[in-house]
Amino acid sequence: MSPETIRSLVKPSAYQDSVTLLLLARQLRSGPGVVEAAALMATPSNRDLLEQSGLLTAEAAKAGSNDLVIAVRAESAAAAAVALAESEAFLGAKRKRLEDSGRALPRTLESARRHLPGANLALISVPGAFAALEAKKALRLGLHVMLFSDNVGLEDEVALKGLAVQKGLLMMGPDCGTAILNGVPLGFANAVPRGRIGLVSASGTGLQQVTALLASQGEGVSQAIGVGGRDLSEAVGGLMTFQALDALAADPTTEIIVMIGKPPAPAVRARVEARLRAAGKPCVLALLGQGVKEGRDATVHAVATLEDAAWAALAMLEGRPYIPQPFSIPAMELRECVEEFCRALRREDGAVRALYAGGTLAHEAVLILEPLLGPIATNLRPGSGGRHRVTDLGADEYTVGRAHPMLDATVRVEEIRKAAQDPDVAVILLDVVLGHGAAPDPAGDVAAAIEAARATAKMAGRGLAVVASVIGTAGDPQDLAAQCARLEAAGVWVLPSNAQAVRAAACIAGGEPVLARLLEGRP
Amino acid sequence: MSPLAAFFRQELRVINLGLEQFAGELDRLGVPVVHVAWSPPAGGDLKKAALLASLTDEDEDDR
Amino acid sequence: MKDSLGRTIRVLRMGRSTRERLNGAPREAGEVHSAYARTLNLLWHDGRLLTLHGPGPLLAPFAAAVDHLPGGLGPGMRAWREGEKIRLGPFLLGWEQGAAVETRLRPEEDGARLLLTVLASSRPAPPAAGLFSPGGRTAQRRLDHGIRERDARAFVEGAAGLIGLGEGLTPAGDDCLVGALAVLSRHAATWLAEHAEVRTALASASERGTTTLGREFLLHALGGSFSEPILRLIQARSAAEAVEGIEDLGRMGASSGADTLWGMRLALEALSP
């Protein structure tokens, strides 16, 4: 039998955590030709241990308690050398993926509470079937709930919200994608300063549009509470909306209340208005739907678009009246822009193809486009038809088995390509949404597709305009300015809000008559 | 003070069940958050899970 | 997220003695001793460790749980006192609003039975192999004898044999001894108090006999101070609490928790009549 070799490696003051040492020892022992191995701190007791195991070298004998000894006894010098070299590599790689002697993640809501004493909110995005069970558990444990999951049944929603109201807790959702509580953006939300405006919203991207606009003027949010899309239905009866409105009414830091949603069931609407008046604070009501009557009285200002909601709230703060304008760009500059795009189109008019990631923004687009351009085909209204099309790419038929367009641009890129090949399409209309939770570079993700689309159209001898709004703030992770610049470099006309982008698209598609109508203030 | 009014004055401390990215975002913001390695209870059987949940129903008052 | 110059790290929870150490920090407060993904050990100006980790129960009696662990800090980086905060690179550590908790065990001469019963009927993960080396077995026997017979000398011999023994950054023997000391601090506090020489001898043995981190745990244990998972388990008032506590502790480290439980069980069995 060839003589065995004992080799060691001493790493002074090398503080590898216990898990690493354990894995290292295992890896050493499994090496070819290795008879015995150890990875131990060179304490006196362990030096004894190494000696007993026939692993003590002169070098290791001189090491101190804070030094790491890696020792192997192998069938040959070569095998020992290889084993030690691999352990060096292992430690080098481990340095990159350090894990301390920490604990495994909790597996249940209950054990999570032990990990985080004082937890006050459960953010739930597990599959819909189980989401209701978890939400109920959370409420019973006294936690507020943000229920991001959709596919939660109506009965469950009513029961959950009933329980929440009973306990004075928030039950935001189901399908609540955005909230800002106590200054913290939750789900898909933008970095917005703390301020004096409180919001209650049935819509995630609606909330994002309004808060982003407020932030652009340096004003901020006290609380932005999501209530889920069905809260104002007759079955749910506005349970969470009223809970939220009452809370904002009582909150000393909230001076203005903004409510965002769709027109509620008639029975519910009357109660909503009464609650708003009872709040004792000025309120802005942005219920996006057909036939919404704009107007204001002493306390409530009803507006037709998300942008108007933001500006109306600001005006109320400053004690001045707000009169909606179709564009914030000076009329002359606007006209020049539109005319340039129209010229490039080389035709009288064309179709709008709107491809949206945000459902509410798509809805707003339909509401603005219809009076200006005529019937709109949209997947938001089954059975609708028209030359112009508005698509909510976040709808079920587009997202089954794939990521939401806020996170992954694949589907949108494909739709842009298809739109470019349709000779009737004159304008592509997009929303680009930034913020926490969104993709790292939404503009970059679509820019190449946009450039290709315009090139395609050009080669076919037609022009193609692309219009977009960027929903984001200067504090968002994705550099707002750079995102706008990237789009503009791709030839996109970027407008300050979704409403303005929609109107700009309508002007390009519909030409001078539409532009004149908007500038003259005709509805 | 109502529970909600009290909540508005607290520091947000979040338990995250589901999409891990939400926990990551909050963590990056310095918000105390614990992510739950969630898997469907009762082996994914919805009926059993609902039954289990109703059996272990405790109304804890955490405040 | 954008850069974080001057970013405040808030201590959420710390031991009372840790708060005093933070309050008493001079301008040169200390330096980083070692850094991991979820813990950061600082070598404080007083020559002892002060550990930072993420939210949750205190994983060491000398730890502070912070809302966000600063990343990118390496061994040797200095910690400076700046007003009411400690500066660590680009980060500012504040502890004003953190909860200060008691990390010392309250003695209670009765009640060992509950924990022993639950431990005996549970099946925790196996402790580290080093505890069962010849040296390890001898040490355990002496420790057991020392507790059973209230023989301080035998106890010290056994404990000294465990210090620095076995696998882990805190060697398994250290964890085992800490577990035993937790039981004794709770259920045989009088005996420990009457034998100050035990504390002196073991403090001395740990000085060169084990790693810096292991020594820190031991010195605190000798003063009756323990991590929150240990505190919760030892002070469990019901079987359910004890079961939870065993689960929580058992998950810690590679075998750290299991080694601690082993020591607890050893001491509990030795104490029972």
Spatial CA neighbour of C35 closest among A95, A25, A64 = A95
Q: Across residues A383-402, what is the average pLDDT? A: 87
Fold of A5-96: Alpha-Beta Plaits (3.30.70)
Whether C238 has a pLDDT exceeding 50, the answer reads yes
Any bridge partners for residue A39, and if so which?
Answer: A70
pLDDT in tens, A421-454: 999 999 999 999 999 989 889 999 999 999 999 9
Nearest CB partner across the interface for C68, out of B13, B30, B34 = B30
pLDDT of residue B61: 39
Which region among A20-34, B34-48, C188-202 has the lowest average model confidence (pLDDT)? B34-48
Q: Do C7 and B30 touch (CB under 8 A)?
A: yes
Measured distance CA(A518)–CA(A372) in Å, rounded: 9
User: Is it the case that residue A116 has pLDDT exceeding 90?
Assistant: no
Taking CB atoms and an 8 Å limit, are A22 and C34 in contact across chains?
A: no
Range scoring the smallest mean pLDDT among A184-193, A297-306, B23-32: B23-32
Closest Cβ opposite residue B7 in set A116, A120, A138: A120
Statement: residue A242 has pLDDT above 90: yes
State the number of CA atoms in the 13 A half-sphere of C198 facing the CB: 28
- What's the pLDDT at B48? 74
Q: In the prediction, which pLDDT does C4 show?
A: 37
pLDDT > 70? residue C129: yes
**pLDDT at residue B58, as a whole number:** 47
- Tokens (6 digits) for C110: 């009765």
Q: Who among B32, B33, B34 is closest to C12 (CB)?
A: B32
The answer to whether B5 contacts A251, with C-beta atoms less than 8 Å apart, is yes
Chain C hits for A17, Cβ within 8 Å: 36, 169, 253-254
**Sheet containing A171-172, strands listed edge to edge, beginning at the edge strand earlier in sequence:** A171-172, A144-147, A121-124, B14-17, B33-36
Q: Is the pLDDT of residue A83 over 70?
A: yes
Q: What is the DSSP letter of B43?
A: G
Q: C83 CB contacts (<8 Å, ≥6 apart)? A: none
C-alpha separations of A134 from A140, A148, B39, B63 in Å: 10, 12, 11, 20
* Level-2 CATH architecture, domain A176-317: 3-Layer(aba) Sandwich (3.40)
Q: What pLDDT is attached to residue A101?
A: 28
Q: Which of A74-78, B40-44, C87-91 shows the highest mean pLDDT?
A: A74-78
Q: What is the mean pLDDT of residues C242-260?
A: 87
Q: With an 8 Å Cβ cutoff, are A100 and C37 in contact?
A: yes
Task: Give the pLDDT confidence of C204-224 residue by residue, as tens digits.
Answer: 999 989 999 999 999 999 999
* CB proximity C72 to A under 8 Å: no
Cross-chain Cβ contact A40/C253 below 8 Å:
no
- Peptide bond connecting A117 to the previous residue in cis, omega within 30 degrees of 0: no
Q: How confident is the model at residue A312 (pLDDT cuts 50, 70, 90)?
A: very high
C19-53 confidence digits (pLDDT tens): 999 999 998 899 999 887 778 999 999 999 999 99
pLDDT confidence of residue A94:
59
Instruction: Find the mean pLDDT for residues A283-288.
Output: 93
Burial (CB count <10 Å: 0-12, 13-18, 19+), residue A35 = middle
Nearest to A181 among B12, B15, B62 (CB): B12
Which pLDDT score, from 0 to 100, does residue A426 have? 94
d(CA A323, CA A320) in angstroms, rounded, equals 10
Task: Average the pLDDT over A108-134 and give the result.
Answer: 88
Yes or no, beta carbons of B32 and C7 under 8 Å apart: no
Instruction: Please tell me the predicted confidence (pLDDT) of residue A523.
Output: 55
Q: Is the pLDDT of residue C188 over 60?
A: yes
pLDDT value at A318 more than 80: yes
Lowest mean pLDDT segment, chosen from A273-287, A338-352, C18-32? A338-352
Q: Quick one: pLDDT at residue B55?
A: 65
Of A407-421, A453-467, B13-27, C111-125, which gets the smallest average pLDDT? C111-125
CB contact under 8 A, B32 and C1: no
Residue of B nearest to A249 (CA): B5
* Every domain of chain C and the residues it spans: 7-101, 112-271
Chain B residue with CA closest to A127: the answer is B18
Question: What are C53's two structure tokens?
Answer: 């980790």
At A232, give phi and psi (nearest 5°).
-85, 10
pLDDT more than 90, % of chain B:
16
CB of C168 less than 8 A from some CB of A: yes
Judge whether A187 and A204 are in contact, CB under 8 Å: yes
| pLDDT of A97 | 45
3.30.40.230, 3.90.600.10, 3.40.50.261, 3.30.70.20: CATH of A331-519: 3.40.50.261
The pTM of the full predicted model, rounded to 2 decimals, is 0.60
pLDDT confidence bin for A41, thresholds 50/70/90? very high
Residue C59 near chain A (CB below 8 Å): yes
Residue with the bigger pLDDT between A215 and A479: it is A215
Neighbours of chain C (3+ CB pairs under 8 A): A, B
Question: Hey, what are A398's tokens?
Answer: 């587009």
What part of A 417-436 touches B (C-beta under 8 Å)?
Answer: 436
**Which chain A residue is nearest to residue B19, measuring alpha carbons?**
A125
pLDDT tens sequence across C133-178? 999 999 999 999 999 999 999 999 999 999 999 988 899 999 999 9
In this prediction the ipTM stands at 0.86
Task: Work out the pLDDT band at A291, boundaries 50, 70, 90.
Answer: low
Percent of chain A with pLDDT strictly greater than 90: 65
Identity of the amino acid at C229:
P
Does residue A148 sit at the B interface (CB-CB below 8 Å)? yes
Q: Where do runs of H (alpha helix) occur along A422-511?
A: 442-459, 480-489, 498-510
Task: For chain A, give every domain's residue range.
Answer: 5-96, 176-317, 331-519
Q: Report the SS3 class of residue A343.
A: helix
Give the pLDDT band of residue C2 (cuts 50, 70, 90). Answer: very low
- Give the span between the Cα atoms of C64 and A122, in whole angstroms: 24
Rounding to the nearest 10 degrees, give the CA dihedral for residues A382, A383, A386, A388: 10
B38 and chain A: CB distance < 8 Å anywhere? yes
Q: Which residues of C touch B (CB under 8 A)?
A: 1, 7, 9-10, 12, 55-56, 67-68
| pLDDT bracket for residue B40 (50, 70, 90) | confident
Sign of CA dihedral A100, A102, A108, A109: negative
Task: Give residue C252's pLDDT band: very low, low, confident or very high (50, 70, 90).
Answer: confident
Q: A2: pLDDT confidence band, cut at 50, 70 and 90?
A: low
Asked whether this chain's domains A176-317 and A331-519 adopt the same fold, the reply is yes
Query: In this complex, is the C-beta atom of B24 within 8 Å of any C-beta atom belonging to chain A?
Result: no
Record the tokens describing residue A87, joined without a space. Answer: 């352990």
The larger pLDDT score, comparing residue A111 to residue C65, is at C65
Per the CB < 8 Å rule, is B30 touching C56? no
pLDDT score, position C103:
96
pLDDT in tens, A169-220: 999 999 999 999 999 999 999 999 999 999 999 999 999 999 999 999 999 9
Probe site for chain B from C5, C66, C68 (most B CB atoms < 10 A): C68
Mean pLDDT value of segment A284-304: 82
Residue A261 predicted with pLDDT over 70? yes
Looking at residue B56, what is its pLDDT? 59
Helix (H) or strand (E) holding A154: helix A154-167
Q: Which of A93-102, B54-63, C195-204 has the highest mean pLDDT?
A: C195-204
Q: Which of A395, A438, A434 is nearest to A415 (CA)?
A: A395
* Other C-beta atoms lying within 10 Å of the C-beta of residue B60: 10
B18 close to A (CB below 8 A): yes
Identify the band that residue A348 occupies on the pLDDT scale cut at 50, 70 and 90: confident
**Residue A297: pLDDT band by 50, 70, 90 thresholds?**
confident
Query: In sequence order, which ranges of A30-127 are alpha helices (DSSP H)?
Result: 44-52, 58-61, 77-96, 109-115
Q: What mean pLDDT do residues C88-98 have?
A: 87
Alpha-carbon gap, residue A514 to A253, rounded angstroms:
43
Mean pLDDT of chain A, nearest integer: 90
Q: How many helices (H) and strands (E) does chain A have?
A: 19, 20
Residue C215 to chain B, least CA–CA distance (Å): 30
Supply the pLDDT for residue C38: 79
A185 reaches B (C-beta below 8 A)? yes
Neighbours of C166 (CB within 10 A): 29
What are the start-end ranges of the H helices in A296-388?
306-317, 331-345, 359-373
- C-alpha A212/C-alpha A472 separation (Å) is 6
pLDDT for position A522? 65
